[in-house]
Amino acid sequence: MKKVILCFLILGFSLVVSGQKLKKIFNGKNLSGWVVPQPNNDNWSVKDKMLLVKSSDDLKGSILWTEKSYKDFIVEVEYKDVSGVVDSGVFLRGENDQIQIGISGSLKRDLTASPYIPGLRYPSEAKTEGILNVGDWNTMKIKVVDKTYTVWLNGQEVMTYTSEKIPTSGPVGIQLHPGNNMSIQYRKILLAEI
């Protein structure tokens, strides 16, 4: 009996420790900890504990950056496409490497969870068929270690890629791609340094 209790205590402690690793970097109240692009034009706002991202009339894009830079990390976002042709994504350590959310502007098809790199476009495509919840909430987790990143969509691993162009450290960004009339919601943005 003591062994069973000890096993449950160890398991419980492990779950608590692993659960504490991911911390909110979006607090659900305001954009504290983020660099808000100016002029904002209401592209980035917080309502009902969610980050609302929407294009303005001029359809200019922008990127919401963390104030802090990161080296190796796990970032997890919960998002939902709201309207229009959604073309968003999560930038990793700066403006070079991005994990796509929604429709690729250049390829005109959904490439969610795939990496986009300027000059290479989409060097690898994530396998999301039957995993992506179109029009509903999705959870994307991205683990970045050295030059390699792995992406999970709704709990399933869908892509691993090694990038020779990714910087060694930098901020995390949320993209509003220019040229589209769109809106997307993020209800959780979590991060753990590893």
pLDDT digits (tens, 9 = 90+) for 92-140: 999 999 999 999 988 899 999 999 999 999 999 999 999 999 999 999 9
pLDDT of amino acid 60: 86
CA atoms within 13 Å, Cβ hemisphere of 48: 4
pLDDT of amino acid 17: 38
pLDDT of amino acid 41: 79
The residue-averaged pLDDT of 176-182 equals: 91
| pLDDT(184) > 90 | yes
pLDDT of amino acid 64: 97
pLDDT of amino acid 98: 98
Cis preceding-peptide flag for 167 (omega within 30 of 0): no
Task: Answer whether 82's CB lies under 8 Å from 184's CB.
Answer: yes
| pLDDT(12) > 50 | no
139-160, pLDDT tens digit by residue? 999 999 999 999 999 999 999 9
Domain 24-193 in CATH 2.60.120.560: yes
E strands along the chain, which residues? 23-24, 34-35, 44-47, 50-54, 62-66, 73-84, 87-92, 97-102, 115-116, 138-145, 148-153, 156-162, 173-176, 182-193
Domain limits, the chain:
24-193
Q: How many CB atoms lie within 10 A of CB 162?
A: 11
Reading phi first (left if > 0) and then psi (alpha if -120 to 50, else beta), residue 165 is in alpha
List C-alpha distances in Å: 100 to 42, 105, 126. 22, 10, 10
Q: Which residue in this structure is represented by tokens 């509903």?
A: 136
Question: Which of 106 and 8 is assigned the larger pLDDT?
Answer: 106
pLDDT of amino acid 16: 42
> What pLDDT band is residue 22 in, cutting at 50, 70 and 90?
very high
32-91, pLDDT tens digit by residue? 999 999 988 789 999 999 999 999 888 888 999 999 999 999 999 999 998 999 999 999
The residue-averaged pLDDT of 161-175 equals: 98
Question: Which of 166 and 179 is assigned the larger pLDDT?
Answer: 166
pLDDT of amino acid 42: 85
